[in-house]
Amino acid sequence: MQLYLNATSPYARVARVCLYEKQLIERTELCWCDPWATDSELLQITPLSRIPTLVTDDGEVLTESLLIALYLDAQGEGDSLLPHKTYAETLALAGLGHGLTDAAFNVVIGRKHNGHEVDTTVLGSRRLKAIERTLATLDAHPSVLAGNAERTLGAITVAVALCYISFRLPAFDWPNRFPTLQAWHAKVVECESFAMTAFE
C-alpha cells in the first residue's frame, strides 16, 4: 500500500495512527507530498489532490480519512477500531472529532489566505463557535467522563483534532480550560501510534 500524506495534516495523521494501531505501517510506503502543488504526483493519482490518499495493493485509490480508516480496520490485525458493542457510539464520537477537525482546519486555511479578519465574517465566526461548542460537548462526553482511553476510531479522531488545535490554534488553550478532556486526551495519546505521528 501507499499512503500520500504530509506532516501537518490532521486528516493524514488519523490515517497514519490507524496504520500503527492495525499493525500495517510496515506494509505501507509513506509518500510525502504537497497537496497544493499543481504538478504533484498526488494529482496524477486523484483529481481531488487531497491527503490522505491511500493506494491499496489492488490499485484502488481511497480518499477521506474516515473511509481510509475503515479500510485499514478491515485489513489489519488486533482489536477493531469500531468495536461491535459500541459501534454507533464510536461512529458518533468519530463524527464529533472529524467535525472539530474540519472547523479548525478551515479556520487555519481561512487565516492563511485572508488574514485574521476572516474570523469576523459570518462563516469565520460560525467555525470558531463550532470549535467552542464541540470542545465543551467533548468535555462532558460519557467516554471522556468515564476516562475510557480505548483507541477506537472515535477516540483517535478526537485526539488528533485536539492535537491539531494545540498545534495550529493554541489560543484556544483547551487543555487548561477543559481539564477533564485534557486528562482523557493524555491517556489516549500515550502510545507509539501518537508518538510516531506527532505534528511537525
Is the pLDDT at 38 greater than 90? The verdict is: no
CA-based max dimension of the chain: 48
- pLDDT above 90 for 147: yes
pLDDT of residue 39: 78
The mean pLDDT of 79-102, rounded to a whole number, is 97
Residue 37 scores a pLDDT above 90: no
The reported pLDDT for the residue numbered 5 is 97
DSSP states along 81-118: SS-GGGHHHHHHHHHHHHHHHHHHHHHHHHHHHH-GGG
The answer to which of 39-43, 50-54, 72-76, 166-170 has the lowest mean pLDDT is: 39-43
**What is the model's pTM?**
0.96
